Amino acid sequence: MSWWSVDATHDPERASWVESAQGHGDFPVQNLPFGIFSIEGGHPRAGVAIGDKILDLFACASAELLLADVAPLCAGETLNALMALPGEARRALRHRLSDLLSDPAHRARVEPMLLDAADCVMHLPARIGDYSDFYVGIHHANNIGRQFRPDNPLLPNYKYVPIGYHGRASSVRPSGEPLVRPWGQRKPPEADAPVFGPSARLDYELELGVWVGPGNDLGTPIPIGAAAEHIAGFCLLNDWSARDFQAWEYQPLGPFLAKNFQSTVSPWVVTPEALAPFRIAQPARPQGDPAPLPYLHDGDDQAHGALGLVLEVDLTSAAMRAAGHAPLRLSRGPASNMYWTVQQIVTHHASNGCNLQPGDLLGTGTISAPEREGYGSLMELSSGGRDPIALPGGEVRTFLEDGDEVTLRARGEAAGAVPIGFGACQARVLAARWAESG
Ligand code: MN
């Protein structure tokens, strides 16, 4: 079995006895993502999304409906132990869950373990030890590079190194948790000295998140051929960015306070198995580009390592919601606009012996299409603030205003496969807070 193989759990004919799963935009029985949820007054615990329900994994394990070796891993308040499972064991769990939720013979026992998702609160799926963010969206890198360095948008290392930096794990938050506008230093172009205040150029970044699986021991790199086995799942990631702070602080050491005040993830961990039908070849590099160095090159990865997902960003403002306007679609584009595959990101990260651990989070970097309708940030959509975007109701935006709500979505679509989605990655911007002293 390879990591891109399709099996009986993907069969389009397979239906769940959970009625809402049929034709569900995100969570048909072919998806089965893992998450951590709670109901009012209860402890967070592991669950699986199915239609508009959540299957309580701990209840399943307690009722001895799961393999004995997996059951104890479902008891925690995070998915770290489940994420550490080797791919083979995770695939066995998927097969069992798929059977439980599709075979009517299991319905009577399993149905009492379903909760209405609407009654549940979703939490971070893992205790995140470390979070690193990459920069593999080549059109984003070009667009942003051009604004910061007009004659030199892509630095010479870009086509050799999957560029990344270490982010901040403590401020990663699940979808739904609002974001407080950050304060920071910015230097207006015409000013002699920087000022300290709320960001005036608050932006989102449309990214995919990668949840690390088993991981590697310190000093032991992950070969590219084995990288897929170290990925436990995927999510959407909004890497909120204060562009004014970023422009002032980013040299010489890269992003710092412009990025680490909060990052929002979608709470469901979509497994590599669920994404198998949506694997596609990594797009060929343009003529004249260097081939990846051997440690980053693998034939299977090049043939199957990209993701056939469609990514979308929606925006509502407070005024839009008050007036009953539908969300404004800011962008839509394919996730294949990545210069490096997620497997190459994993291998590069561990290539110096750096140890990745179960539950670590990697961001791909902003994924933009070559065309404006697929740009993954306001920095690009508004051309660095020069071209305002019209909102329904007469408002305009160059960057985010207080009350704005940003929603990221991802959907896998492929011929002969039941489409699946990631669920929303959504958060609202709250006004800056600062305890003025004196
Ligand atoms: Mn980013």
Do 164 and 26 share a structural domain? no
Tokens of 59: 């209840």
d(CA 72, CA 85): 12
Q: How much is the pLDDT for 54?
A: 98
Residue 57 maps to a domain: yes
| Three-state secondary-structure class, residue 276 | helix
Q: How far, in Å, from the CA of 205 to the mean position of ligand 1?
A: 6
Residue 2 maps to a domain: no
Do 201 and 101 share a structural domain? no
- Chain centroid offset of residue 182 CA: 22
Instruction: Tell me the residue type at 158.
Output: Y
Question: What predicted TM-score, i.e. pTM, was given to this entire model?
Answer: 0.97
Q: How far, in Å, from the CA of 238 to the mean position of ligand 1?
A: 8
Q: How far, in Å, from the CA of 391 to the mean position of ligand 1?
A: 25
At 70, which CATH number? 2.30.30.230
Do 153 and 55 share a structural domain? no
Strand arrangement of the beta sheet that strand 120-123 belongs to: 114-116, 53-56, 45-50, 34-39, 120-123
Do 40 and 71 share a structural domain? yes
At 192, which CATH number? 3.90.850.10
Q: Are 55 and 33 in contact (CB under 8 A)?
A: no
Do 317 and 406 share a structural domain? yes
Domain end among 95, 123, 151? 123
Do 399 and 363 share a structural domain? yes
Q: How far, in Å, from the CA of 59 to the mean position of ligand 1?
A: 37
Q: How far, in Å, from the CA of 7 to the mean position of ligand 1?
A: 34
| Nearest alpha carbon to residue 340 among 332, 329, 356, 351 | 351
Domain end among 123, 143, 168? 123
**Domain span at residue 15?**
8-123
Low-confidence stretches of the chain (pLDDT beneath 70): 435-438
Do 189 and 219 share a structural domain? yes
Q: How far, in Å, from the CA of 425 to the mean position of ligand 1?
A: 15
Domain end among 69, 90, 123? 123
The residue to which tokens 């399943």 are assigned: 60
Do 279 and 251 share a structural domain? yes
d(CA 411, CA 5): 19
Give me Rg for the CA atoms of the chain: 22
- How many distinct structural domains can be found in the chain? 2
pLDDT digits (tens, 9 = 90+) for 301-342: 999 999 999 999 999 999 999 999 999 999 999 999 999 999
- Give percent of the chain above pLDDT 70: 99
Residue 3 maps to a domain: no
Q: Are 395 and 317 in contact (CB under 8 A)?
A: yes
Residues recognised as catalytic? 140
| Three-state secondary-structure class, residue 54 | strand
Instruction: Tell me the residue type at 427.
Output: A
Do 168 and 30 share a structural domain? no
Q: How far, in Å, from the CA of 132 to the mean position of ligand 1?
A: 9
Residue 198 maps to a domain: yes
Residue 436 maps to a domain: no
